[in-house]
Structure 1
Amino acid sequence: MIQFEAVHKRFPNGTTAVHDLTLEMPEGGVTVLVGSSGCGKTTTLRMINRMVEPTSGTIRVGGKDVLAQDAAELRRSIGYVIQQAGLFPHRTVLDNIATVPLLLGWGRRRARARAAELLETVGLAADTGKRFPHQLSGGQQQRVGVARALAADPPVLLMDEPFGAVDPVVRTQLQDELLRLQKELSKTIVFVTHDIDEAVRLGDRIAIFRTGGHLVQCAPPAELLASPADDFVTDFLGSERELKLLSLTSLKDVPQTRATPLRADEPVSAVSGDGGRWRLVTSAAERPLGWLDTDALPATGTAGEAPLTPARALRDTDSLLSALNETIASPSGCVARVDADGAVTGVTAREEIHARAAAAHAAAGAGAARTADAPRTAHAESPSLAATPTERPA
């Protein structure tokens, strides 16, 4: 656990970066710090490993006061990932990853073996270790940066806008990778970002700061979205905060009905509209191929050869927001549901998804209201629909 007690940071020019911060960051969870530029979130993160020294107050990591520890030793015990990775350009990937273990006195063979092991952990090919940073894509460099931070197996990982310099597709992939790693490793992660969508997706708790280093609200994502503390938080969350709330609830408990799909090899001459105008077409392995309009069948051929409207199949772990989006795109108004292997298990109607979305929003609001009625601090626990790190929808 990381604890801030009445921490204040004022720079020599008189600027207050962090104001009287009291906050707990639970062990084994992801705490995301968000806010506009100059609100103190990066300063807060950098005070944990003493890259910035607090003016006053106490910061404890694992119950130990960071100011009572040797700064260099402290930093070697905490993983640190920054934007654009910050890799040493003259060292190979393997040697970059092995940096901290070597500083801690590991033998070169052991350090490089650990580095090679971590390449696989972060999803990079073994031969990547022989390359230099300039030979990698931006996404690959960020994965190396994460591997380097994990090399000595630190209990705490600090991440300062680590995915801010990559394109949206790669950013989503890196977020997926972080969620996978956190499920396996259960590190205590402090993550800084400007992106509230990224915060909602990754965070077990989100701390929102305003200019001047004031902490406005810290809560699980569902509570934050359902019950913002004030107008500042409401504006920061944006006009689509109710939709963001749906991204935290999975399809798992939403009912589905048995599907009557058409096989791709079935002749169109044998197809009728008895099962409704729009019929789901599947492969021989029962994978969904698309929706077939029975009112516009071709004269000949098979169902699989006919023009099909794409169907994005969803699993139980997908979110209500994804399902809501799919009902808009689906000509049938239904979502195709599949199992872990991608085989069709049934369909869910638009009405079922809308009903579940309304119930999820009401439940989150009720949980937030109960919390508001109780005495609270910046680190108070509260009921929420937010998934745990191992259950969070993709």
Structure 2
Amino acid sequence: MIQFDTVHKRFPNGTTAVHDLTLEMPEGGVTVLVGSSGCGKTTTLRMINRMVDPTSGTIRVGGKDVLEQDAAELRRSIGYVIQQSGLFPHRTVLDNIATVPLLLGWGRKKARARAAELLETVGLAADAGKRYPHQLSGGQQQRVGVARALAADPPVLLMDEPFGAVDPVVRTQLQDELLRLQRELNKTIVFVTHDIDEAVRLGDRIAVFRTGGHLVQCASPAELLARPADDFVADFLGAERGLKLLSLTTLADVPQAPAPEGGAWTLRLDATGAPVAWRHKDAEAADIPVRPLRDTDSLLSALNESIAAPSGLVARVDAAGVLTGVSSRDDIHEHAGSAHEQGRGGSSAPEGARGTARATKADPHPEDGTGDTEADATPVKTGPAGTAERPA
């Protein structure tokens, strides 16, 4: 656990970067610091490994006051990832990753073996180790940066806008990779970003800072979205915070029914029973590809798919991708409205879904069987337009 106790940081020019901060960052969790530029989030991060020392107050990592430890030794025990990766351009990828183990006195053979192991861990091919940073893409460089931070197996990982310099597609891939790694390694991660969508996607807890280093609110993503502390937090979360809340609520409780037969639209399956496309009864009409969802997918994804699907139905599949049924647009909308009202009223339902939703992001094929549960649903019939209708 990382603990800030009335920590204050004032720079020599008189600027207050952090104002009397009291905050706990749970062990094994991802705490995300967000806020506009100049709000103190990066200074807060850098005080953990003493790249910046506090003016007053106490910071403890694992119960130990950071100011009572040697700064160099402390930094070697904490992983640190920055934007643009910060790799040494004259060293190979393998030697970049081995940097901290070598500083800690590991033998070269052991350090390079650890580096090679981490290449696979962060999703890079073994031959990448022989290359130099300039021979890698931006996303690959960021993966190497994460591997270097993990090389000595530190319990704490600090990440200062690590994915901010890559394009949106690569950024999503890197977020997925981080969630997968966290599921496997269970590090205590402090992550700085200005992107609230990234914070909601990655964080177990989100701390919102105001200019001048004031902590305004620290809460789980669901609680923050449902009950912002004040107008500042609500404005920072944006007008679409209700949709963000739905991204944390899963599809699991939405009822399923057998796929329609004989209506305007039917599901075409492949040989394994996986849904492939919606087929119209008019033989000349082109098939429309289907995007099937699992129980662990979000209500927001289901809403999007129900609107995109010509039938108004969402195909549901188990962990193996085999069709288990369909859910109607009406049922999805009903559950979306219910989840939103529960969040506003203080129900723990959205937070209860948080662990499942994060597991889905980390691993699209969970092994715990959560994706292959069939609901006991009332059959639906398909109307003229293919939309689901409840029987009278």
Assess same fold via TM > 0.5.
Answer: yes
Shift of 1:275: 2.7
Counterpart Cα distance in 2 of 1:23 and 1:91: 38
Counterpart Cα distance in 1 of 2:234 and 2:190: 23
Shift of 1:210: 0.6
Counterpart Cα distance in 1 of 2:141 and 2:254: 40
Q: Does residue 1:340 correspond to 2:327, yes or no?
A: no
Question: CA distance change for structure 1 residues 340 and 167 in 2, over 3 Å: closer, same or farther?
Answer: same
Counterpart Cα distance in 2 of 1:62 and 1:282: 53
Counterpart Cα distance in 2 of 1:227 and 1:275: 46
Q: CA RMSD in A?
A: 1.6
The partner residue of 2:328 within 349, 354, 368 is 349
- Please give the per-residue CA displacement for 1:363-389, whole angstroms capped at 9, x wherever unaligned: 222337x9xxxxxxxxxxx99345138
For 2:14, the equivalent position in structure 1 comes to: 14
Counterpart Cα distance in 1 of 2:350 and 2:323: 34
Counterpart Cα distance in 2 of 1:28 and 1:383: 21
Q: Does residue 1:387 correspond to 2:387, yes or no?
A: no
Counterpart Cα distance in 1 of 2:258 and 2:278: 16
Shift of 1:10: 0.5
The partner residue of 1:297 within 260, 283, 286 is 283
**Residue type at the aligned position of 1:351:** D
Q: Does residue 1:103 correspond to 2:103, yes or no?
A: yes
For 1:359, the equivalent position in structure 2 comes to: 338
For 1:224, the equivalent position in structure 2 comes to: 224
For 2:275, the equivalent position in structure 1 comes to: 288
For 1:87, the equivalent position in structure 2 comes to: 87
For 2:294, the equivalent position in structure 1 comes to: 315
For 1:251, the equivalent position in structure 2 comes to: 251
Task: Tell me if the contact between 2:28 and 2:188 (Cα under 8 Å) persists in the aligned partners.
Answer: yes
Task: Tell me if the contact between 1:93 and 1:130 (Cα under 8 Å) persists in the aligned partners.
Answer: yes
Task: Tell me if the contact between 2:259 and 2:266 (Cα under 8 Å) persists in the aligned partners.
Answer: no
Alignment gaps of 5+ in structure 2: 362-392
For 1:34, the equivalent position in structure 2 comes to: 34
Task: Tell me if the contact between 1:33 and 1:193 (Cα under 8 Å) persists in the aligned partners.
Answer: yes
Task: Tell me if the contact between 2:248 and 2:357 (Cα under 8 Å) persists in the aligned partners.
Answer: no
Query: What secondary structure sits across from 2:314 in the alignment?
Result: strand
Task: Tell me if the contact between 1:6 and 1:58 (Cα under 8 Å) persists in the aligned partners.
Answer: yes
TM-score (norm 2): 0.89
**Residue type at the aligned position of 1:19:** H
Question: CA distance change for structure 1 residues 166 and 153 in 2, over 3 Å: closer, same or farther?
Answer: same
Counterpart Cα distance in 1 of 2:296 and 2:355: 13
- Please give the per-residue CA displacement for 1:20-73, whole angstroms capped at 9, x wherever unaligned: 000000000000000000000000000000001111000000000000000000
Shift of 1:280: 1.1
**Residue type at the aligned position of 1:283:** D
Percent identity of paired positions between Structure 1 and Structure 2: 79
Shift of 1:357: 1.2
Task: Tell me if the contact between 2:30 and 2:190 (Cα under 8 Å) persists in the aligned partners.
Answer: yes
- Please give the per-residue CA displacement for 1:233-256, whole angstroms capped at 9, x wherever unaligned: 000000000000001011122221
Counterpart Cα distance in 1 of 2:103 and 2:170: 31
> Which aligned pairs between 1:1-394 and structure 2 lie closer than 5 A?
1-260=1-260, 275-294=262-281, 296-298=282-284, 307-367=286-346, 384-385=351-352, 387-388=354-355, 391-394=358-361
Shift of 1:100: 0.3
Q: How many pairs are equivalent?
A: 361
Task: Tell me if the contact between 2:296 and 2:357 (Cα under 8 Å) persists in the aligned partners.
Answer: no
Counterpart Cα distance in 1 of 2:358 and 2:10: 40
Shift of 1:258: 1.9
**Residue type at the aligned position of 1:387:** R
Counterpart Cα distance in 2 of 1:365 and 1:318: 22
- Please give the per-residue CA displacement for 1:239-291, whole angstroms capped at 9, x wherever unaligned: 0000000010111222211225xxxxxxxxxxxxx632111111122222211
Alignment gaps of 5+ in structure 1: 261-273, 299-305, 371-381
Shift of 1:359: 2.0
Counterpart Cα distance in 1 of 2:356 and 2:113: 29
Task: Tell me if the contact between 1:221 and 1:386 (Cα under 8 Å) persists in the aligned partners.
Answer: no
Mean Cα deviation higher: 383-392 or 24-33? 383-392
Counterpart Cα distance in 2 of 1:225 and 1:391: 16
